[in-house]
Amino acid sequence: MPMSGEDLYYDIHLRERGHIVETEAQPWGKMIHHGLPGIPSLSGANAARPAPWIGAHNDKVFGEILGLSPEKIEELKKVEAIK
């Protein structure tokens, strides 16, 4: 018989293999989400945290990588071109 989404969510085997993981993420708090596809135990990868919040790395990307000044970055934030 096929498993429902709820069956998969609570499946002990999937949780033990890292397919369903529990993490702490700001600003949401505790999250339970799908881990990495495949077999994490063989790859060394993990899904210990969710993707970064939108704009979390803007200062690094726009400042350090693209070379924009802090003033220009603030200007872009004010006009909501970036978060």
Tell me the domain boundaries of the chain: 1-51, 52-83
Tell me what pLDDT residue 77 has.
Answer: 92
The pTM score is 0.48
Q: What is the pLDDT of residue 68?
A: 96
Mark the ranges of the chain whose per-residue pLDDT is less than 50.
none
Q: CA quadruple 15, 39, 31, 1: dihedral positive or negative? A: negative
Q: Which DSSP letter does residue 62 get?
A: I
